């Protein structure tokens, strides 16, 4: 496949996926969703043993791009469900990928970008990285990421991050459990490759089966929660607060919430 929004490079059985829209801070577009799913399929089918996901330029991923946000306001309910399902498929694919995945978070990872960063098996972050789920600030709903976040960091921390929409610096993200390790920017990819080497010293069959076992223990509940989140993600797009939050965000003004 020819990729427009990302690059894949393979060296010594390690595949590095670089989100490659630096002029858009690597924001998620519908094309990127399709390409990331295809890229992960390519990595799974090939001989590579470990995957690394990082961002081009100064950001890891700024979340949904502006064109995608604009389109949400005009889509039909069925289109919103289909769009939500594609996003859920992308997040679940990262979370359930059978080979080890390492996120090398080189800069801001916001909203859906934070989801990609934290759903990898290991999340390495540069000190410049900032992470957060900011959806409530624009009248949206962090529905899909909430399913995974509660399982990763617990109910209380998830409520803090999702309800406040606050952005945390890398050291706090490490303390909260969003990040595995904070690494200087000049060592970030080197450390990711070093970690990949450590993983490749173990049995690939053992790692595959370990990941599968951890997923299996709660898969039914996880998939049920994802389906509920898909419906909620689509439904909020028809609310007045979402339309106002989106307009105010695009117009760079304070929102005027109505609670509807």
Distance between CA atoms of residues 176 and 182, nearest Å: 13
Going through the chain in order, the beta strands assigned E by DSSP cover 6-11, 14-19, 50-55, 101-105, 109-110, 122-125, 130-132, 167-169, 181-182
Active site annotation includes 135: yes
Q: Which residues pair with 132 in a beta bridge?
A: 110, 167
The SS3 assignment for 129 reads: coil
44, 135, 155, 181: the catalytic one is: 135
Distance between CA atoms of residues 23 and 5, nearest Å: 11
How, if at all, do strands 6-11 and 14-19 pair? antiparallel
Q: Which active-site residues does the annotation give?
A: 135
């Amino acid at each position: 496949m020819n990729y427009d929004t990302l690059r894949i490079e393979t060296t010594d059985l390690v595949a590095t996926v670089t989100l490659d829209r630096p002029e858009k801070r690597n924001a998620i577009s519908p094309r990127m969703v399709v390409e990331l799913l295809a890229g992960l399929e390519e990595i799974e089918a090939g001989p590579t043993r470990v995957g690394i996901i990082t961002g081009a330029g100064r950001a890891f991923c700024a979340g949904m791009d502006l064109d995608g946000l604009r389109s949400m306001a005009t889509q039909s309910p069925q289109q919103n469900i289909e769009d939500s399902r594609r996003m859920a498929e992308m997040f679940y694919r990262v979370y359930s990928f059978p080979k080890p995945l390492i996120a090398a978070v080189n800069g801001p990872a916001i909203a859906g970008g934070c989801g990609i960063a934290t759903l990898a098996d290991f999340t390495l972050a540069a000190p410049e990285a900032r992470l957060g789920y900011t959806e409530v600030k624009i009248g949206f709903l962090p529905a899909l990421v909430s399913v995974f976040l509660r399982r990763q960091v617990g109910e209380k921390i998830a409520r803090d991050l999702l309800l406040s929409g606050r952005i945390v610096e890398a050291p706090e993200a490490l303390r909260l459990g969003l990040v595995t390790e904070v690494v200087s920017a000049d060592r970030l990819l080197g450390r990711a490759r070093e970690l990949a080497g450590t993983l490749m010293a173990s049995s690939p069959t053992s790692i595959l089966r370990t990941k599968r076992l951890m997923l299996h223990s709660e898969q039914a509940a996880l998939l049920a929660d994802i389906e509920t989140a898909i419906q909620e993600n689509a439904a909020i797009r028809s609310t007045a607060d979402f339309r106002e939050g989106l307009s105010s965000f695009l117009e760079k003004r304070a929102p005027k919430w109505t609670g509807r």
